[in-house]
Amino acid sequence: MSESAVSPFPVRCLLVDDDPGIRELLTGFLQPFGMRLEAVADGDGMRRRLPASDIDLLLLDVMLPGESGLDLCQWVKREQPGLPVIMLTAQGDTLSRVLGLELGADDYLPKPFEPRELVARIRAVLRSVGAGAAPAQAVGRVRIGAWSFDRVQRRLYDPEGVMVPLSAAEYRLLVAFVDHPDLALSRERLLELTRAPGVDANERSIDLAVSRLRGKLGEPDAQNGMIRTLRGTGYLFAPRRAA
Protein backbone atom coordinates (compact mmCIF):
# COMPACT_ATOMS: atom_id res chain seq x y z
CA MET A 1 0.00 0.00 0.00
CA SER A 2 1.36 3.40 -0.93
CA GLU A 3 1.57 6.23 1.59
CA SER A 4 -1.00 8.19 -0.39
CA ALA A 5 -3.52 5.37 0.12
CA VAL A 6 -3.28 5.39 3.89
CA SER A 7 -6.15 7.84 4.37
CA PRO A 8 -9.04 7.80 1.83
CA PHE A 9 -10.38 11.06 3.23
CA PRO A 10 -7.86 13.89 3.62
CA VAL A 11 -7.06 15.01 7.14
CA ARG A 12 -7.48 18.79 7.23
CA CYS A 13 -4.73 20.53 9.19
CA LEU A 14 -4.18 24.21 9.90
CA LEU A 15 -0.59 25.34 10.50
CA VAL A 16 0.08 28.60 12.36
CA ASP A 17 3.74 29.53 11.81
CA ASP A 18 5.39 32.81 10.81
CA ASP A 19 8.20 31.03 8.93
CA PRO A 20 7.24 31.01 5.21
CA GLY A 21 9.79 28.28 4.52
CA ILE A 22 8.15 25.88 6.97
CA ARG A 23 4.68 26.75 5.66
CA GLU A 24 5.73 25.98 2.09
CA LEU A 25 7.66 22.83 2.99
CA LEU A 26 4.88 21.23 5.03
CA THR A 27 2.09 22.19 2.66
CA GLY A 28 3.73 20.15 -0.09
CA PHE A 29 5.07 17.38 2.12
CA LEU A 30 1.86 16.31 3.86
CA GLN A 31 -0.33 15.95 0.78
CA PRO A 32 0.94 12.49 -0.29
CA PHE A 33 0.09 11.24 3.21
CA GLY A 34 -3.60 12.03 2.83
CA MET A 35 -3.34 15.34 4.69
CA ARG A 36 -4.45 18.69 3.37
CA LEU A 37 -2.58 21.54 5.03
CA GLU A 38 -3.54 25.19 5.12
CA ALA A 39 -1.11 27.67 6.64
CA VAL A 40 -1.39 31.11 8.22
CA ALA A 41 1.29 33.30 9.76
CA ASP A 42 -0.30 34.48 13.01
CA GLY A 43 -3.20 34.42 15.44
CA ASP A 44 -5.32 36.80 13.39
CA GLY A 45 -5.13 34.46 10.42
CA MET A 46 -5.97 31.49 12.65
CA ARG A 47 -9.06 33.17 14.08
CA ARG A 48 -10.31 34.05 10.61
CA ARG A 49 -9.89 30.45 9.44
CA LEU A 50 -11.14 28.35 12.35
CA PRO A 51 -14.83 29.37 12.43
CA ALA A 52 -15.47 27.29 9.30
CA SER A 53 -15.22 24.24 11.64
CA ASP A 54 -13.75 21.96 8.97
CA ILE A 55 -10.26 21.70 10.49
CA ASP A 56 -9.34 18.31 12.00
CA LEU A 57 -6.09 19.30 13.72
CA LEU A 58 -4.16 22.48 14.56
CA LEU A 59 -0.35 22.77 14.31
CA LEU A 60 0.63 25.74 16.44
CA ASP A 61 4.07 27.32 16.70
CA VAL A 62 4.92 28.74 20.14
CA MET A 63 7.00 31.70 18.94
CA LEU A 64 4.68 33.90 16.89
CA PRO A 65 4.43 37.65 16.25
CA GLY A 66 1.81 39.28 18.43
CA GLU A 67 0.03 36.62 20.48
CA SER A 68 2.15 33.64 21.43
CA GLY A 69 1.22 30.10 20.55
CA LEU A 70 0.53 29.43 24.23
CA ASP A 71 -2.06 32.22 24.36
CA LEU A 72 -3.64 30.96 21.15
CA CYS A 73 -3.72 27.39 22.47
CA GLN A 74 -5.63 28.59 25.53
CA TRP A 75 -8.09 30.47 23.30
CA VAL A 76 -8.62 27.46 21.02
CA LYS A 77 -9.25 25.08 23.90
CA ARG A 78 -11.82 27.51 25.28
CA GLU A 79 -13.59 28.10 21.96
CA GLN A 80 -13.16 24.67 20.32
CA PRO A 81 -12.27 22.17 23.08
CA GLY A 82 -12.55 19.20 20.74
CA LEU A 83 -9.94 20.42 18.25
CA PRO A 84 -6.63 18.54 18.68
CA VAL A 85 -3.54 20.76 18.96
CA ILE A 86 0.11 19.89 18.38
CA MET A 87 2.53 22.57 19.60
CA LEU A 88 5.77 23.26 17.71
CA THR A 89 8.43 24.38 20.17
CA ALA A 90 12.08 25.33 20.08
CA GLN A 91 14.54 22.57 20.89
CA GLY A 92 15.11 22.50 24.64
CA ASP A 93 12.18 24.83 25.41
CA THR A 94 10.91 22.58 28.18
CA LEU A 95 8.86 25.27 29.93
CA SER A 96 6.78 26.01 26.82
CA ARG A 97 6.16 22.32 26.29
CA VAL A 98 4.92 21.84 29.84
CA LEU A 99 2.77 24.98 29.70
CA GLY A 100 1.33 23.95 26.35
CA LEU A 101 0.29 20.54 27.68
CA GLU A 102 -1.20 22.13 30.78
CA LEU A 103 -3.22 24.47 28.57
CA GLY A 104 -4.68 21.52 26.72
CA ALA A 105 -2.27 20.76 23.86
CA ASP A 106 -2.38 17.11 22.83
CA ASP A 107 1.28 16.78 21.85
CA TYR A 108 4.39 18.82 21.11
CA LEU A 109 7.19 18.54 18.58
CA PRO A 110 10.52 20.35 19.06
CA LYS A 111 12.07 22.21 16.12
CA PRO A 112 13.86 21.33 13.97
CA PHE A 113 11.93 18.14 13.21
CA GLU A 114 11.73 15.57 10.43
CA PRO A 115 8.47 16.01 8.47
CA ARG A 116 7.85 12.26 8.63
CA GLU A 117 7.90 12.48 12.42
CA LEU A 118 5.22 15.16 12.20
CA VAL A 119 3.10 12.79 10.09
CA ALA A 120 3.47 10.11 12.76
CA ARG A 121 2.54 12.55 15.54
CA ILE A 122 -0.55 13.75 13.65
CA ARG A 123 -1.73 10.20 13.11
CA ALA A 124 -1.11 9.26 16.76
CA VAL A 125 -3.03 12.27 18.08
CA LEU A 126 -5.97 11.67 15.75
CA ARG A 127 -6.10 8.02 16.83
CA SER A 128 -6.06 8.99 20.49
CA VAL A 129 -8.93 11.49 20.19
CA GLY A 130 -10.99 9.79 17.47
CA ALA A 131 -14.42 8.49 18.42
CA GLY A 132 -13.67 5.29 16.52
CA ALA A 133 -11.07 4.34 19.13
CA ALA A 134 -13.69 4.34 21.89
CA PRO A 135 -16.09 1.50 22.73
CA ALA A 136 -19.39 2.03 20.92
CA GLN A 137 -21.37 2.36 24.13
CA ALA A 138 -18.99 5.05 25.38
CA VAL A 139 -19.15 7.38 22.39
CA GLY A 140 -20.93 10.67 23.09
CA ARG A 141 -22.03 11.89 26.49
CA VAL A 142 -21.47 9.80 29.59
CA ARG A 143 -23.40 10.45 32.80
CA ILE A 144 -21.30 10.60 35.95
CA GLY A 145 -23.96 11.07 38.59
CA ALA A 146 -25.22 14.62 38.10
CA TRP A 147 -22.23 15.42 35.87
CA SER A 148 -22.02 14.91 32.11
CA PHE A 149 -18.87 14.07 30.17
CA ASP A 150 -18.75 14.38 26.39
CA ARG A 151 -15.68 12.39 25.46
CA VAL A 152 -15.95 13.18 21.75
CA GLN A 153 -16.08 16.95 22.23
CA ARG A 154 -13.77 16.64 25.28
CA ARG A 155 -16.12 18.60 27.50
CA LEU A 156 -17.13 18.14 31.14
CA TYR A 157 -20.37 19.71 32.38
CA ASP A 158 -21.25 20.31 36.03
CA PRO A 159 -24.74 19.59 37.46
CA GLU A 160 -25.87 23.07 36.36
CA GLY A 161 -24.80 22.43 32.77
CA VAL A 162 -21.77 24.72 32.97
CA MET A 163 -18.74 23.50 31.02
CA VAL A 164 -15.68 22.85 33.16
CA PRO A 165 -12.44 23.07 31.12
CA LEU A 166 -10.13 20.07 31.12
CA SER A 167 -6.45 20.00 30.29
CA ALA A 168 -5.28 17.29 27.90
CA ALA A 169 -3.88 15.27 30.84
CA GLU A 170 -7.13 15.59 32.81
CA TYR A 171 -9.17 14.56 29.78
CA ARG A 172 -7.09 11.43 29.18
CA LEU A 173 -7.28 10.52 32.86
CA LEU A 174 -11.07 10.91 32.98
CA VAL A 175 -11.42 8.77 29.85
CA ALA A 176 -9.30 6.06 31.50
CA PHE A 177 -11.48 6.14 34.62
CA VAL A 178 -14.75 6.15 32.65
CA ASP A 179 -13.55 3.14 30.63
CA HIS A 180 -12.57 1.24 33.80
CA PRO A 181 -15.22 1.91 36.47
CA ASP A 182 -15.02 0.18 39.84
CA LEU A 183 -11.63 -1.32 39.02
CA ALA A 184 -8.41 -0.84 40.97
CA LEU A 185 -5.91 0.85 38.66
CA SER A 186 -2.27 1.13 39.60
CA ARG A 187 -0.36 4.30 38.81
CA GLU A 188 1.70 2.31 36.32
CA ARG A 189 -1.48 1.15 34.54
CA LEU A 190 -2.85 4.70 34.48
CA LEU A 191 0.40 5.86 32.91
CA GLU A 192 -0.06 3.30 30.15
CA LEU A 193 -3.66 4.39 29.57
CA THR A 194 -2.98 8.13 29.57
CA ARG A 195 0.52 8.61 28.20
CA ALA A 196 0.60 11.19 25.38
CA PRO A 197 2.94 10.65 22.41
CA GLY A 198 6.40 12.08 23.05
CA VAL A 199 5.66 13.10 26.65
CA ASP A 200 7.82 11.89 29.52
CA ALA A 201 5.57 11.18 32.49
CA ASN A 202 5.94 9.45 35.82
CA GLU A 203 3.71 8.25 38.65
CA ARG A 204 3.90 11.65 40.33
CA SER A 205 2.27 13.20 37.26
CA ILE A 206 -0.67 10.81 37.73
CA ASP A 207 -1.07 11.95 41.34
CA LEU A 208 -1.05 15.60 40.26
CA ALA A 209 -3.60 14.98 37.50
CA VAL A 210 -5.86 13.08 39.92
CA SER A 211 -5.65 15.96 42.39
CA ARG A 212 -6.59 18.52 39.73
CA LEU A 213 -9.42 16.35 38.40
CA ARG A 214 -10.83 15.88 41.89
CA GLY A 215 -10.78 19.64 42.35
CA LYS A 216 -12.70 20.20 39.13
CA LEU A 217 -15.26 17.57 40.10
CA GLY A 218 -15.62 19.28 43.48
CA GLU A 219 -14.60 16.14 45.35
CA PRO A 220 -11.34 16.60 47.25
CA ASP A 221 -12.08 13.64 49.58
CA ALA A 222 -9.65 10.88 48.66
CA GLN A 223 -11.64 8.17 50.45
CA ASN A 224 -15.31 8.89 49.89
CA GLY A 225 -15.51 10.62 46.52
CA MET A 226 -15.72 9.24 42.99
CA ILE A 227 -11.93 8.90 42.67
CA ARG A 228 -10.76 6.88 45.66
CA THR A 229 -7.14 6.46 46.67
CA LEU A 230 -6.16 2.83 47.26
CA ARG A 231 -3.20 2.89 49.58
CA GLY A 232 -0.25 1.04 48.10
CA THR A 233 -2.18 0.27 44.91
CA GLY A 234 -3.42 3.30 43.01
CA TYR A 235 -6.93 4.58 42.36
CA LEU A 236 -10.47 3.38 41.88
CA PHE A 237 -13.18 5.27 39.99
CA ALA A 238 -16.58 4.72 41.62
CA PRO A 239 -19.08 6.76 39.54
CA ARG A 240 -22.09 5.46 41.48
CA ARG A 241 -20.91 7.54 44.42
CA ALA A 242 -21.80 10.60 42.36
CA ALA A 243 -25.46 9.62 42.09
Q: Which of 141, 229, 241, 134 is CA-nearest to residue 186?
A: 229
At which of 129, 147, 165 does a domain end?
129
pLDDT of 200 = 64
233 and 153 assigned to the same domain: yes
H or E stretch including 123?
helix 115-129
- Pairing of β 141-144 and β 147-150: antiparallel
110 and 143 assigned to the same domain: no
Q: Which of 77, 75, 72 is CA-nearest to residue 60?
A: 72
pLDDT of 133 = 37
Q: With a cut of 50, which residues of the chain have pLDDT below it?
A: 1-9, 131-139, 241-243
At which of 85, 100, 129 does a domain end?
129
- Residue-range definition of the domain harbouring residue 176: 136-242
- Per-residue model confidence as pLDDT tens digits over 89-112: 876 667 777 777 778 888 888 888
93 and 152 assigned to the same domain: no
pLDDT of 135 = 36
pLDDT of 16 = 97
pLDDT of 197 = 62
At which of 114, 129, 144 does a domain end?
129
79 and 193 assigned to the same domain: no
67 and 93 assigned to the same domain: yes
61 and 122 assigned to the same domain: yes
92 and 194 assigned to the same domain: no
Domain count, the chain: 2
159 and 57 assigned to the same domain: no
181 and 111 assigned to the same domain: no
Give the dihedral sign, CA 148/153/155/157. negative
Residue 93: CATH number of its domain: 3.40.50.2300
122 and 141 assigned to the same domain: no
Establish how many alpha carbons lie within 13 A of residue 31's alpha carbon, considering only the half-sphere containing its beta carbon.
6
